[in-house]
């Protein structure tokens, strides 16, 4: 690359979410580009992790403030001579798309199942997305399922698309797979926000049907269901602990035996990649996106029947169900799709492709 491309990244906050962490990792891992970050509002917790990057806070909370933010972003694009605008998440995508229209190449990342998460419940948001989307937009989807969901709810005519899985931090990658040894008390771990789509009640239903002395589960994450889950754990005397959010998860993961992930739906799951990279075998929902995320190298459970999970746990603990063959394959496979070296090169190649194509179109 002869001249550095200047990329304007638009995201709603720099809080501790998956999209925000992925953005910070991408920026720090792509020094061959000039990066400017625009956030709509605080929190800006991850700001300290960005090295030598200009960060602009629009302080835009309401719908009308966001409308005004479009002109502010237009001015930033002109003043900073931006070559490419890359937006993450719904509100920042709308602002970036309107601010860069027809003048600056625009790419947005689908970090979740926007249709299921937002458009299904909010017809106005769906209307805004359908109205503002342009075939000139470039799109990065974090899974094929997230892309299919977008096509279903917004438009099937997405032509400038690249599926790139999110990368995880290097320190999650263990040197060796952790072979599961049956016949002992099994330490289970699950990670995710404490909200309905993560389906923790299903896991608790399954554990209620298993011998309490054989299993223990730690759940990492926080959210609106914390009090309800805690009350159920105490009332039913379940071997479960809510651990909240921690900063050293990559260290803690290696102390567990099996990772559980029973979401009703996902766009893509960083936690699953992190568990696989940590050398843990997986038990996950039998849904398409988790077949995709795991490469099929996992044990799948029927979400309509908590006893399916309970029976699999008991069989694994007794050594009747071998989970290590799948676990070892998943441990090797995740290195090929979620390692930063792989993912950041894919993003860089896509940026260069967009820049070359937009130059060709203008000349």
Mean pLDDT, range 186-215, rounded to an integer: 96
Query: What's the confidence (pLDDT) of residue 362?
Result: 54
> Which CATH architecture does the domain made up of 170-336 adopt?
3-Layer(aba) Sandwich (3.40)
- pLDDT tens profile 88-135: 999 999 999 999 987 899 999 999 999 988 999 999 999 999 999 999
Query: What's the confidence (pLDDT) of residue 18?
Result: 82
Read off φ and ψ for residue 41, nearest 5 degrees.
-170, 175
> CA-CA distance, 309 to 205, in Å (whole number)?
9
- Measure the N-to-C terminal CA separation of the chain; round to a whole number of Å: 20
Contact indicator for 289, 220 with CB cutoff of 8 Å: no
Q: How far is CA 296 from the centre of its chain?
A: 18
Q: Above 80 in pLDDT, residue 231?
A: yes
- pLDDT tens profile 45-56: 999 999 889 999
- pLDDT tens profile 180-189: 999 999 999 9
Contact indicator for 62, 91 with CB cutoff of 8 Å: no
According to CATH, where is 3.40.50.2000 located in the chain?
A: 6-167+339-362, 170-336
Q: How far is CA 23 from the centre of its chain?
A: 11
Mean pLDDT, range 233-258, rounded to an integer: 95
> CA-CA distance, 349 to 35, in Å (whole number)?
16
Residue-wise DSSP of 1-12? --SPPEEEEEES
What number of H helices and E strands is found in the chain?
14, 13
Residue 43, CB-side half-sphere exposure with 13 Å CA sphere: 7
User: What is this structure's pTM?
Assistant: 0.91
355: enclosing H helix or E strand = helix 340-362
Closest CA to 250 of 220, 222, 223, 226: 220
- pLDDT tens profile 162-177: 999 999 999 999 999 9
Q: Which residue blocks in 114-258 are alpha helix, DSSP H?
A: 114, 123-132, 144-153, 200-208, 226-235, 249-253
- pLDDT tens profile 280-290: 999 999 999 99
Query: What's the confidence (pLDDT) of residue 1?
Result: 44
| Residue 363's pLDDT band (cuts 50, 70, 90) | very low
Q: Above 50 in pLDDT, residue 257?
A: yes
Mean pLDDT, range 59-72, rounded to an integer: 94
- Fold exhibited by the domain 6-167+339-362: Rossmann fold (3.40.50)
237-242-248-253 Cα dihedral, nearest 10 degrees: 50
> CA-CA distance, 108 to 161, in Å (whole number)?
10
Name the residue with tokens 């900073």: 80
Kindly give, in sequence order, each residue whose CB lies less than 8 Å from that of residue 41, ignoring residues fewer than 6 positions away.
12, 13, 57, 58, 59, 60, 61
- For the record, the structure tokens of 354 come out as 């967009």
Query: What's the confidence (pLDDT) of residue 178?
Result: 93
Q: Above 60 in pLDDT, residue 315?
A: yes
């Amino acid at each position: 690359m002869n001249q550095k491309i200047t990329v304007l990244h638009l995201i709603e906050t720099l809080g501790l979410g998956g999209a925000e962490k992925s953005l910070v990792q991408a920026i720090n891992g792509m020094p061959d580009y000039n990066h400017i970050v625009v956030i709509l509002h605080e929190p800006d917790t991850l700001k300290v992790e960005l090295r030598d990057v200009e960060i602009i806070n629009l302080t835009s909370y309401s719908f009308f403030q966001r409308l005004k933010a479009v002109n502010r972003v237009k001015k930033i694009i002109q003043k900073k001579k931006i070559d490419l605008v890359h937006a993450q998440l719904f509100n920042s995508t709308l602002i970036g798309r309107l601010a860069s229209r027809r003048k600056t190449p625009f790419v947005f990342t689908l970090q979740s199942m926007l249709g299921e998460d937002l458009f299904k419940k909010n017809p106005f948001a769906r209307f805004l997305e359908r109205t503002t989307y342009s075939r000139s937009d470039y799109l990065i989807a974090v899974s094929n399922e997230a892309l299919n969901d977008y096509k279903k709810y917004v438009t099937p005519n997405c032509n400038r698309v690249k599926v790139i899985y999110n990368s995880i931090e290097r320190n999650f990658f263990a040197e060796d797979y952790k072979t599961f040894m049956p016949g002992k008390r099994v330490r289970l771990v699950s990670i995710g926000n404490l909200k309905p789509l993560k389906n923790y009640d299903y896991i608790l239903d399954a554990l209620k049907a298993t011998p309490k002395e054989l299993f223990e589960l730690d759940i990492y994450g926080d959210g609106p269901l914390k009090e309800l889950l805690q009350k159920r754990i105490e009332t039913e005397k379940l071997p479960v602990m809510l651990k909240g959010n921690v900063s050293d998860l990559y260290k803690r993961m290696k102390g567990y035996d099996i990772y559980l992930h029973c979401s009703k739906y996902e766009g893509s799951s960083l936690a699953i990649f992190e568990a696989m990279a940590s050398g843990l075998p997986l038990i996950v929902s039998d849904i398409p996106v988790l077949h995709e995320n795991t490469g099929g190298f996992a044990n799948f459970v029927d979400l309509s029947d908590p006893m399916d999970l309970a029976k699999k746990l008991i069989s694994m603990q007794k050594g009747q169900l071998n989970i290590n063959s799948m676990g070892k394959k998943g441990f090797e496979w995740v290195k090929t799709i979620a390692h930063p070296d792989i993912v950041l090169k894919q993003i860089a190649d896509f940026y260069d492709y967009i820049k070359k194509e937009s130059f060709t179109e203008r000349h």
